[in-house]
Amino acid sequence: MPPSSVSFTHIVHRPLTATRPGASRPLELSANGATLWVCNPDADTVTRVDAATLAKLGEHPVGDQPEALALASDGRAWVVNHAGSTISVLAADGSLSGLVSLPHGSRPYGLVFSPEGTRAHVALQALGRILTLDTTNFATVVARDLPTDADGRRPEPRGLAISHDGARIYATRFISPDEGGQAYELDATPSAGLALLRTLALAPASGPDTSVHARGIPNYLVNAALTPDGGALWLPSKQDNIFRGGLRDGLPLSHDMTVRAVTSLVDLFTGAPRAPGRIDHDNFDRAHAVDFSLLGDLAFVTLPGNHLVLVLDTATGAEVTELPTGNTPTGVLLDPARGRLFTLDFLGRTVSGFDVSALLSGTGVSAPPLAAPVSTVAVEPLAPEVLQGKRLFYDAESA
């Protein structure tokens, strides 16, 4: 009998939680996976998109600068209006069914629901506060202020993530103190009143400064996501080298040693970095948002200034492939049941979709587009020169 061989892919992963953890983001899928909801911050609207065809289903007005949304268990979309300090609650057809008024000037950002759907947790950036609302009547259940610095500076929370059982909430500190980046773990069980359990410290990166690595602290922490095993928190950001310069250590500043793109990984069992530690995305713009494969073996990280999603091996931090998106991807969402990945392309005014089934099964590294990116904004709110200036400001690719 002639010799024969068989090859197969075997993916090893940590034990998964009973359900996927949740995170705040600017796009979300309906429960049946048919409709994609996305925020349009400049246009003050949200758009519904057919997730299979990427056809636009409708665009609906909300408040001033919608930055995040989440879908309640009753199918309604809660949209956080960052500049308007409100939450617009939309029915499944996009019509307005409620409006939640938050403290004036509180600049809400992140939003997550408890698993049973009775509570909504909101990050109030300007007040340094996490708020819990009753989803049936919009009443405030708990208001928890995060600890201020010694000089009275508030921590400005933005991104929120919630454990699969709703027992823990994790909030990011947007702008870091000189000591390093920070995230907060709060007890979200109903009897705990959002008690602060611990502050998760993101220590400064040590030197030396080289062309592929530099010192610095993680900064601009906008989003956070829990791994599917519930054991680690991923925090994409930039990293600012506050230790280098003529008045710091006497060394001249250079572009690749001053600001870098990083993703920090925190082991929630120990509070220490989780292997592979802090991932340095060399020669890229800041990292902004992240989502995971169903098994947690892959991470999808957006790089807005490079108009890319990096696909990473979570065990090693190594790059698997790159997915070119529309202009300035600020949100990413995986539909693991159907093997699709979606990005919100903020300054492209589009949604991009990819078939990532080969990546998820480990049988290939290709991820072809599902269709051409779909336009999400019917009427451009900015003057042409203003839009072009904004695109140039965010762009890290143009010469």
Q: 183 lies in a domain?
A: yes
Query: Average pLDDT in the 248-269 region?
Result: 93
Residue-level pLDDT at 62: 98
| Tokens coding 69 | 């949304």
| 330 phi/psi in degrees, rounded to 5 | -110, -5
Number of domains forming the structure of the chain? 1
Query: Average pLDDT in the 366-372 region?
Result: 95
Residue-level pLDDT at 201: 96
Residue-level pLDDT at 9: 77
* Confidence band for 207, pLDDT divided at 50, 70 and 90: confident
* Cα 280 to Cα 283: distance, rounded to the nearest angstrom: 9
Q: 158 lies in a domain?
A: yes
Query: 353 pLDDT exceeds 90?
Result: yes
Q: Render pLDDT for 327-351 as a digit per residue (tens, 0 to 9).
A: 999 999 999 999 999 999 999 999 9
Question: What's the Cα-to-Cα distance from 32 to each of 73, 163, 338, rounded to whole Å?
Answer: 12, 22, 11
Q: Render pLDDT for 211-234 as a digit per residue (tens, 0 to 9).
A: 889 999 999 999 999 999 999 999
Q: Render pLDDT for 296-320 as a digit per residue (tens, 0 to 9).
A: 999 999 999 999 999 999 999 999 9
Q: 11 lies in a domain?
A: no
* Cα 129 to Cα 369: distance, rounded to the nearest angstrom: 40
Query: 6 pLDDT exceeds 90?
Result: no
Q: Render pLDDT for 104-122 as a digit per residue (tens, 0 to 9).
A: 999 999 999 999 999 999 9
Q: Which residues fall within 8 angstroms of residue 365, CB to CB, at 6 or more apart? A: 311, 320, 321, 358, 359
Q: 51 lies in a domain?
A: yes
Residue-level pLDDT at 5: 85
Query: 8 pLDDT exceeds 80?
Result: no
Q: Which domain holds residue 333?
A: 22-394
The enclosing domain of 197 has a CATH number of 2.130.10.10
Arithmetic mean of pLDDT over the chain: 96
Predicted model pTM? 0.96
Lowest mean pLDDT among 178-182, 239-243, 394-398: 394-398
* Confidence band for 154, pLDDT divided at 50, 70 and 90: very high
Query: 244 pLDDT exceeds 60?
Result: yes
* Confidence band for 354, pLDDT divided at 50, 70 and 90: very high
* Confidence band for 399, pLDDT divided at 50, 70 and 90: low
Q: Render pLDDT for 122-145 as a digit per residue (tens, 0 to 9).
A: 999 999 999 999 999 999 999 999
Q: 3 lies in a domain?
A: no
Residue-level pLDDT at 96: 97
